[in-house]
Amino acid sequence: MPLFIRVTPALAITATLKHQKVDLRNEGMDIFKIKDAMYFLDEKLGKYVSLDKAVFARITTPGARL
């Protein structure tokens, strides 16, 4: 089960119809770099929640457990 889900309108493709994933990988889950909707699986709630600044700060602090 994925911890993060990113919803994009479309994926960029190359001339040979391969998906361009390098930009997605470089952006990662950093909400300050991405413009798309991002969701995080909150195990305490048992559902996906929108990845906003408060959730991002909580899961990126040292010692946070995912």
**Whole-number Å distance between alpha carbons of 8 and 17:** 17
Per-residue confidence band for 1, with pLDDT thresholds at 50, 70 and 90: confident
Q: Is the whole model's pTM more than 0.85, yes or no?
A: no
Greater model confidence, 38 or 15:
38
CA distances from 61 to 1, 3, 32, 34 (A): 23, 17, 16, 20
**What does the mean pLDDT of the chain come to?**
90
Per-residue confidence band for 65, with pLDDT thresholds at 50, 70 and 90: confident
The pLDDT score that the predictor gives to residue 17 is: 87
Task: Count Cβ neighbours within 10 Å for each residue of 19-34 and write b for 16 or more, e otherwise.
Answer: eeeeeeeebeeebeeb
Mean pLDDT of the region 8-17: 88
